[in-house]
């Protein structure tokens, strides 16, 4: 670990192969915690490169639970979190809209770290079983087009670094790579990041991880999801190339709405908001979900334009298909 620490301290970016070796040392119980903590702190001070995020993500995925999938065309729309927006669970609600539109969604997620309700929190409030087996996950993807992959359940090796991360008390590379570590082989992906300076870096990582098509977004107001407040910054990975662009809600027929109108609350309140959106209730919550679901459908390639993606998202909600996918994930009466 000393070698890699010295390289990072000198400002050198590790290659994917070097970072994989460093990552294996991070997860080795014999490596001193002080050495791991020093390495993670040095990485943060230098700034994490695409090759370093790719190498770490690959090792985490190698150590993850193996999830069989019924199709090679699977998408995830997980974001990094970290925007402190306290909004409704936009990406989780959008995931059901994607499934209702016919996409196969392996929704990767965790409990809240910087908000009152993470994806796992809101789904648990809705009666969703978080810790399902790989076989149950595959069955859910086949029958319901969507399954939730609870990060602590599918990444047991992460327990090895929890105490180190807590002792550092500052964000590290592990706070950025959650969306990159889905154990399912994803063909396409929508990834939200709260740091605009990492847009291209994240897109490069998805390219190195082998995504055929992907979209990385940073929302107006620096959300890790697209918002209705103004220009959203994006990087599209398509045909092996990366292209930057911006999208404004008015360009796709949606209203401009201040970000404070997107606020949610605790898991119980956000669950109610999710159900209302999926039942067709109009307003800012629905509109921001339509925008993000539309971007997801576009990222998957089912829609050739974002506007077309939004129309398919509307159809998913208004036909009842999105709500049906939520009901299919839970036996609870909460969603009835």
Cite the annotated binding site for anthranilate by residue number: 79, 110, 165
For Cα atoms 94, 336, 314, give the angle at the middle one, nearest 5 degrees. 30
Q: Which residues are annotated as a binding site for 5-phospho-alpha-D-ribose 1-diphosphate?
A: 79, 82-83, 87, 89-92, 107-115, 119
Q: Which residues are annotated as a binding site?
A: 79, 82-83, 87, 89-92, 107-115, 119, 165, 224-225
| Tokens linked to 217 | 């977004």
Parallel, antiparallel, or unpaired for β 241-247 and 213-218? unpaired
| Tokens linked to 152 | 């602590």
Give the gyration radius of the chain's Cα atoms. 19
The DSSP letter of residue 228 is S
DSSP H helices in the chain: 2-9, 16-26, 33-46, 50-63, 90-100, 119-125, 134-144, 151-154, 159-168, 199-208, 267-278, 284-300, 306-318, 321-329
| Exposure string over 309-332, b if 16+ CB within 10 A, otherwise e | bbbbbbebbeeebbbbbbbbbbee
The DSSP letter of residue 73 is -
CA–CA dist 134, 307 (Å, integer): 35
Q: Which residues are annotated as a binding site for Mg(2+)?
A: 91, 224-225
Sign of CA dihedral 268, 270, 276, 279: negative
| Tokens linked to 198 | 């990492």
Sign of CA dihedral 34, 36, 39, 42: negative
């Amino acid at each position: 670990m000393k070698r890699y620490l010295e390289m990072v301290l000198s400002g050198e970016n590790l290659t994917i192969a070097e970072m994989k070796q460093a990552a294996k040392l991070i997860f080795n119980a014999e490596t001193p915690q002080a050495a791991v903590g020093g390495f993670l702190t040095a990485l943060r001070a230098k700034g994490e490169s695409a090759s370093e995020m790719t190498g770490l993500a690959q090792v985490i995925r190698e150590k993850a639970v193996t999830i069989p999938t019924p199709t090679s065309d699977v998408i995830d729309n997980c974001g990094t979190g970290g925007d402190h927006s306290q909004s409704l669970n936009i990406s989780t609600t959008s995931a059901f809209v994607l499934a209702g539109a016919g996409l196969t969604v392996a929704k990767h997620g965790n409990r809240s770290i910087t908000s009152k309700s993470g994806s796992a929190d809101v789904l648990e409030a809705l009666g969703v079983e978080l810790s399902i087996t790989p076989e149950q996950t595959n069955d859910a993807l086949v029958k319901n087009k969507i399954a939730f992959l609870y990060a602590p359940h599918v990444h047991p090796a992460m327990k090895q670094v929890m105490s180190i991360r807590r002792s550092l008390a500052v964000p590290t590379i592990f706070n950025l790579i959650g969306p990159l570590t889905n154990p399912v082989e994803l063909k396409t992906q929508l990834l939200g990041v709260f740091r605009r300076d990492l847009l291209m870096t994240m897109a490069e990582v998805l390219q190195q991880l082998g995504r055929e098509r992907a979209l990385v977004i940073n929302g107006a107001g620096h959300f890790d999801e697209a918002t209705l407040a103004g220009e959203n910054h994006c990087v599209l990975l398509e045909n092996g190339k990366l292209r930057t662009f911006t999208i404004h809600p008015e360009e796709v027929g949606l209203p401009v709405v201040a970000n404070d109108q997107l606020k949610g609350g605790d898991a119980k309140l956000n669950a109610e908001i999710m159900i209302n959106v999926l039942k067709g209730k109009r307003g800012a919550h629905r509109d921001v979900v339509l925008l993000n679901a539309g971007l997801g459908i576009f990222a998957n390639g089912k829609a050739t334009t974002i506007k077309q993606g939004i129309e398919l998202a509307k159809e998913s909600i208004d036909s009842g298909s999105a709500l049906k996918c939520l009901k299919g994930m839970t036996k609870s009466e909460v969603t009835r």
